[in-house]
């Protein structure tokens, strides 16, 4: 939808070398995207909180090529080190984006990328890194052609590009929260890009925490790409897509009215459904670990005993995301220290919270 062959540089007016740098956060889905079709289009709409402490920082340097060719010329550094594996992935992605950004093959590109969290912490970095890359590319386009001056248009294109890189990354562009996928409950929503969902949030949800309990740092045994693909033969797929739509509309009401209990019920329902779908795929697979289940039982028992509103969600992996309002941060942190931390790999967990979205550095 953004193909534009006019975005070509005039060699008689070559731009000076320059750079753009963005810091972009990860996000945590409350209503999950699981199942896709076509070019990374979702089977159901999803909702996420934008995180804060877990981010990627990326700098894109560019200079005009002396000798023109039709290639993507990219050098890639991850935490200061050349990284051939990441370079190859990003290069393939940039090649795919040539119809959208035809000027890319006129430039020599260098990317420096870093994550705020350890690479092998069991946290997916695709949402933060793909959104950071999309933002750098849109800044570059706007600098060279002045085409994205309207902030809403800039965000929408950045979200579209991020989504092509990794579906859920399209939701990292916005402060606080985002909806991705066409739904009647969010005017302007689209399968092609995420939109901001700050307007859905009662103040309680703008001060919300997501502490990530690292149950295992090991790489996932099944990629999310393979997991999405297995939804095509899943006997529960249609019921699932209907459930996600229903949950999204219930979630909208809970978020607007500040109903933390209902929010938590939906978050846990979505997390367990996601993993039930994995277990009911053919072939089936399981990403939770014994300590994931142990933690879930402890969280539910603590909530029942104390009345403190603390809930969990899960990504496509074994780690627990502990969701709770800022008003109970002291209680929950001491609960983590005394009862939960020892079930994490090397007692490692990350304190994160709902944040204000990407920042240009
Ligand atoms: O963006 P992907 O293709 O890695 O898929 C993400 C899927 C989940 O994290 C499990 C759910 C979601 O909506 O983020």
Residue 168's nearest CA partner among 187, 181, 157, 156 is 181
> What distance in angstroms lies between residue 268's CA and the mean position of ligand 1's atoms?
16
- CB of 126 within 6 A of ligand 1: the answer is yes
> What distance in angstroms lies between residue 132's CA and the mean position of ligand 1's atoms?
17
- pLDDT tens profile 243-292: 999 999 999 999 999 999 999 999 999 999 999 999 999 999 999 999 99
The distance in angstroms from the start CA to the end CA of the chain is 29
Predicted confidence (pLDDT) at residue 70 exceeds the cutoff of 90: no
pLDDT at res. 220: 79
Question: Pseudo-torsion of CA 138, 144, 146, 151, nearest 10°?
Answer: 20
- CB of 314 within 6 A of ligand 1: the answer is no
> What distance in angstroms lies between residue 59's CA and the mean position of ligand 1's atoms?
25
Output phi, psi for 148, to 5 deg. Answer: -125, 45
Predicted confidence (pLDDT) at residue 347 exceeds the cutoff of 80: yes
Residue 180's nearest CA partner among 217, 127, 216 is 127
Question: Which atom from ligand 1 is nearest to the alpha carbon of 127?
Answer: 1
- CB of 248 within 6 A of ligand 1: the answer is no
> What distance in angstroms lies between residue 13's CA and the mean position of ligand 1's atoms?
42
SS3 324: strand
- CB of 32 within 6 A of ligand 1: the answer is yes
In angstroms, the Cα distances linking 166 to 41, 174, 277 are 10, 16, 20
- pLDDT tens profile 193-235: 999 999 999 999 999 999 999 999 887 788 889 999 999 999 9
Predicted confidence (pLDDT) at residue 120 exceeds the cutoff of 70: no
Gap between the Cα atoms of 265 and 272, Å rounded: 11
Q: Tell me the two tokens of residue 161.
A: 């590009």
- CB of 313 within 6 A of ligand 1: the answer is no
For 79, other C-beta atoms within 10 Å of its C-beta total: 10
- Which of 26, 28, 29 gets mutated to test ligand 1 (max ligand atoms within 8 A of its CB)? 29
Q: Which residue has the higher pLDDT, 45 or 119?
A: 45
Average pLDDT, the chain: 95
Gap between the Cα atoms of 88 and 76, Å rounded: 9
Average pLDDT over residues 337-359: 97
> What distance in angstroms lies between residue 262's CA and the mean position of ligand 1's atoms?
23
SS3 34: coil
Are the C-beta atoms of 9 and 346 separated by less than 8 Å?
no
Q: Tell me the two tokens of residue 177.
A: 């929260």
- pTM for this predicted structure: 0.96
Are the C-beta atoms of 280 and 303 separated by less than 8 Å?
no
Output phi, psi for 243, to 5 deg. Answer: -60, -40
User: What secondary structure, in 3-state letters, does 215-230 show?
Assistant: CCCCCCCCCHHHHHHH
Output phi, psi for 198, to 5 deg. Answer: -60, -35
Q: Tell me the two tokens of residue 343.
A: 């079930």
- Which of 28, 30, 34 gets mutated to test ligand 1 (max ligand atoms within 8 A of its CB)? 34
């Amino acid at each position: 939808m953004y193909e534009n062959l006019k975005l070509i540089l005039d060699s008689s007016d070559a731009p000076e070398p320059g750079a753009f740098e963005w810091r972009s956060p990860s996000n945590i889905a409350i209503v999950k995207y699981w199942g896709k079709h076509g070019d990374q289009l979702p089977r159901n709409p999803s909702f996420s909180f934008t995180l804060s402490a877990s981010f990627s920082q990326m700098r894109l340097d560019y200079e005009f090529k002396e000798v023109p060719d039709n290639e993507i010329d990219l050098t890639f550094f991850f935490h200061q080190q050349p990284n051939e594996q990441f370079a190859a992935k990003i290069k393939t992605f940039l090649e795919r984006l040539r119809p959208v950004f035809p000027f890319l093959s006129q430039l020599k590109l260098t990317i420096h990328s870093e994550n705020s969290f350890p690479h092998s912490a069991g946290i997916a970095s695709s949402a933060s890194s793909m959104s950071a890359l999309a933002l750098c590319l849109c800044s570059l386009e706007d600098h060279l052609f002045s085409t994205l001056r309207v902030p809403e248009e800039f965000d929408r294109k950045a979200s579209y590009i991020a989504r092509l890189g990794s579906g859920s990354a399209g939701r990292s562009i916005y402060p606080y929260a985002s909806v991705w996928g066409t739904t009647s409950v969010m005017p302007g929503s689209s399968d092609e890009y995420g939109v901001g969902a700050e307007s859905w949030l009662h103040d309680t949800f703008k001060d919300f925490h997501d502490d990530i309990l690292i149950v295992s740092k090991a790489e996932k045994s099944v990629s999310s790409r393979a997991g999405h693909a297995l939804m095509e033969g899943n006997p529960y797929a249609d019921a699932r897509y209907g459930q996600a739509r229903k949950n999204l509309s219930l979630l909208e009401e809970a978020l607007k009215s500040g109903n933390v209990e209902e929010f938590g019920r939906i978050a846990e329902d979505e997390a367990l459904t996601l993993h039930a779908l994995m277990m009911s795929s053919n072939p089936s697979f399981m990403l939770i670990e014994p300590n994931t289940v142990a933690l879930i039982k402890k969280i539910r028992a603590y909530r029942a005993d104390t009345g403190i509103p603390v809930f969990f969600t899960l990504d496509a992996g074994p780690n627990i995301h502990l969701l709770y309002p800022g008003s109970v941060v002291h209680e929950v942190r001491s609960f983590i220290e005394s009862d939960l931390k020892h079930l994490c790999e090397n007692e490692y967990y990350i304190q994160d919270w709902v944040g204000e979205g990407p920042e240009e550095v």
